[in-house]
Amino acid sequence: MVVAIDGPAGVGKSTVAHWVADTFDFFNLNSGAFYRAMAVKVLDAGVNARDENDVITAAESAELDIIGGRLYLDGIDVEDRLRTDQVDQWSSIISTIIPVRHIVNRHLRRIAGTISLVAEGRDMTTVVFPDAEVKIYLEADPLVRARRRFQQGTSSRSLEEIENSIRERDHRDRNKKEGSLLIAADAVVLDTSTLTLAQVYEKVSGLINSYL
Ligand code: DC
C-alpha cells in the first residue's frame, strides 16, 4: 500500500508522514531528502547549482541509499547535512532540472520496491506514485509556515527572510516544467494553518484505516 502526501515547503508533511509511518509500520520515503542529498553532492563537487550539465553529471554519479532510516550519499551518512539554509535553496534550484527529477524518481521507485510506504514530497500523488491508495495534499498560509520554521530554531535567518525564501520556493515548486506542485484530482486536501499537526495526523490515520 502507498500513502502519498504532497504539499509546499514547511507545511508539516515530514512530521505527519513520520508519525503515520511509525503507527502503521510503513516505510517513510521522504523525497525532499533525496533532492537535498543531490544538493549536497553538487556542493561537494564544487559545481554551481545553475550549471545544468554539471549538476546532471554529478547527480548521475550519486549513489543514494537508506540504511537504518538514514540517507546515505556515496556510502556516507549525510542526514545531518540536509537541513541547512544553503541546502534548502540549492535543492529547490536543482529540483527544477528535469533529468535530475528523473534520476531522483528512479532512486525513489527502486527503494520503494513493493513495500508499504508513506511517500511525501511535491509530486508523489501525481507523478511518482499516481496509483497510491491514499492521497493527501497539505496546504498552509506561507506566513504560518515561516513562523513554524522560525520557531524550530534551525535557521539563522529572520522571520521575514524565511517567509521570502518560502515564497520563492513555492513559486519554483509551482512553475516546474515537470513535477510541479499540483493537487491531484483524487487527493484529500487538508489546510494545516487551521489544524494542529496532531489533528492532521488523526485525519490521515483515519483515511488509512478506512482504506484498510
Ligand atoms: O520537502 P523539502 O523541502 O525537504 O524538499 C526539498 C526541495 O526538493 C524543495 O525545494 C522542493 C524539492 N522537491 C521536489 O521538487 N519534488 C519532491 N517530490 C520533493 C521535493
Mean pLDDT for back-to-back runs of 10 residues, the chain (212 residues): 96 95 96 98 94 97 94 97 94 96 96 92 97 97 93 88 95 95 97 93 97 91
Kindly give the distance from the C-alpha atom of residue 89 to the centroid of ligand 1, in angstroms, as a whole number.
10
Protein residue with its CA nearest to atom 20 in ligand 1: 32
pLDDT tens digits, 78-135 = 999 999 999 999 999 999 999 999 999 999 999 998 799 999 999 999 999 999 999 9
Fold category of 28-115 in CATH = Rossmann fold (3.40.50)
28-115 and 1-26+116-207 share a CATH fold: yes
Place of cell 521507485: 109
Residue 209: exposure state from Cβ atoms within 10 A (0-12, 13-18, ≥19) = exposed
The pick from 15, 36, 83, 95 for probing ligand 1's pocket by mutation, whose C-beta has the most ligand atoms within 8 angstroms, reads 95
Give yes or no for a contact between 142 and 52, defined as CB atoms under 8 angstroms apart.
Answer: no
pLDDT score at 43: 97
CATH architecture of the domain covering 1-26+116-207: 3-Layer(aba) Sandwich (3.40)
Listed by start position, the domains of the chain span 1-26+116-207, 28-115
Q: Is the pTM of this model over 0.85?
A: yes
